[in-house]
Amino acid sequence: MAGEPKDDCLFCKIVEGHVPATIVRETDTTVAFRDINPQAPTHVLVIPKAHYKDAAALATADPALAADLLREAQAVADEDKLESYRIVFNTGAGAGQTVFHTHAHVLGGRGMQWPPG
Ligand code: AMP
Ligand code: ZN
């Protein structure tokens, strides 16, 4: 069923506490934790506790939960005192998505290039 935990999903395991993570924020519906391979001084992943494969699947099934992610991204930026930051939702393997549980990358603390690589 949509949103149900998936046995083979790394981020579901983090939500359930079965895989350790450096959690920086948690709400009823979301978890935010530091990326294990940071690409910027702040590199936090904000995920819904419910399992959806990507941002669009989440927004379609539960728009309010998608909005929770965006608010939590701002909260992470506020906690790290970032004036500006970048949110990335890699969608599909060709765009670099490796974990198929919706996650917002919140990146900041250094200058950002455009276009991204
Ligand atoms: P993506 O490539 O967009 O699917 O992003 C997945 C991200 O998860 C990558 O930036 C990885 O470095 C990160 N990652 C993988 N395993 C872990 C973990 N156990 N804890 C924290 N971050 C992780
Ligand atoms: Zn999952």
The mean of the pLDDT values for the chain is 97
Predicted local confidence at residue 72, as pLDDT: 98
Nearest by Cα to 110 from 93, 85, 87: 85
Q: Calculate mean pLDDT across residues 85-106.
A: 98
Residues 19-73: tens digit of each pLDDT: 999 999 999 999 999 999 999 999 999 999 999 999 999 999 999 999 999 999 9
Distance CA 11, CA 48 (A): 9
pTM of the model: 0.98
| Percentage, residues of the chain above pLDDT 90 | 97
Distance CA 86, CA 73 (A): 9
Q: Is 98 in the pocket of ligand 1 (CB under 6 A)?
A: yes
Residues by chain with Cβ below 5 Å of ion ligand 2: 6, 9, 11-12, 51, 101
Distance 81 CA to ligand 1 centre (A): 23
Predicted local confidence at residue 2, as pLDDT: 83
Distance 18 CA to ligand 2 centre (A): 12
Mutate to test the pocket of ligand 1, among 35, 42, 89 (most ligand atoms within 8 A of CB): 35
103 is catalytic: yes
Q: pLDDT grade, residue 117 (50/70/90)?
A: confident
- Which tokens belong to 1? 């069923």
Predicted local confidence at residue 103, as pLDDT: 98
Domains and CATH numbers, the chain: 10-108 (3.30.428.10)
